[in-house]
Amino acid sequence: MDTREKRSDAKAASITNRATASAPTAAEYVTLVEILELTAPYEEFEAAASAAVRRLEVEGIRELVSIRFCGGPESTEIGAILTFSDRERMIRHMNMVSSWGEFKRFFGIVKPLDVRVYGRLSGDAETWIGQFGDIVSRKFEDHTGGFVR
């Protein structure tokens, strides 16, 4: 290997190390898997969810890395999957969206029935979720393996 190749390899390793040093590890992620009961027609839910997601894409916290809703016109329940890359920033998200008209509309159309937590919630996030009642059915807090890209 000549000197140029060694420098190139060292530079690539340095860039990789800097990128991974600031990126959260899989152990820091928290995923909420929710079951939501529809209390209005599916079309109203679809419109409310779309408006909420559009606003989140523009104004939401960077640590909300993924949000998905699954269901269809015949559904009486909707699945929701939210993934955060930083459990400490989840409460910022929760407090922020609580004041948005899009989320007031959204939570007027759904009733949270069940939440499973994959990762460890902060105390503030647990309290916030608790406002909907005793809906956390399972917690899988201890990270045993995985990766994120």
Average pLDDT over residues 43-68: 95
Task: Determine the number of helices (DSSP H) and then strands (DSSP E) in the chain.
Answer: 5, 5
Residue type at position 31: T
Average pLDDT over residues 37-57: 96
Q: What rounded mean pLDDT belongs to the chain? A: 88
Tell me the longest C-alpha to C-alpha distance in the chain.
Answer: 68
Per-residue model confidence (pLDDT) at position 5: 54
Average pLDDT over residues 95-118: 95
In the sheet that holds 136-140, the strands lie side by side as: 64-70, 77-84, 30-38, 110-118, 136-140
CATH numbers and ranges of domains, the chain:
28-140 (3.30.70.100)
Q: What ranges in 40-88 are assigned the alpha helix state H? A: 42-59
Per-residue model confidence (pLDDT) at position 7: 52
